[in-house]
Amino acid sequence: MKCPECEGKLEVLRLCRKVLLRCGTCRREYQVHEVAGELDRETEELLARYPAIIYD
């Protein structure tokens, strides 16, 4: 999915206890709940690989 700020590509970034989305262009990081309403199918499938996501 695209970054709301610059329309760069967001990448799923796994941290120890949670997952963030990071823009590969502007490096801004988003928590999943911040963009939950805008997730596209590709990103949802990536996130689905992490069954223990903490959404806040």
Q: Among 2, 8, 11, 39, which residue sits at the site for Zn ion (rule: CB under 5 A)?
A: 8
Is 6 near Zn ion (CB under 5 A)? yes
Q: Report the C-alpha gap between 6 and 21 in whole angstroms.
A: 14
Q: Smaller CB distance to Zn ion: residue 6 or 36?
A: 6
Q: Report the C-alpha gap between 37 and 40 in whole angstroms.
A: 9
Q: How far is the CB of 54 from Zn ion (least distance, A)?
A: 23
According to CB under 5 A, which residues from 15 to 44 bind Zn ion?
Answer: 23, 25-26
Q: Report the C-alpha gap between 26 and 47 in whole angstroms.
A: 21
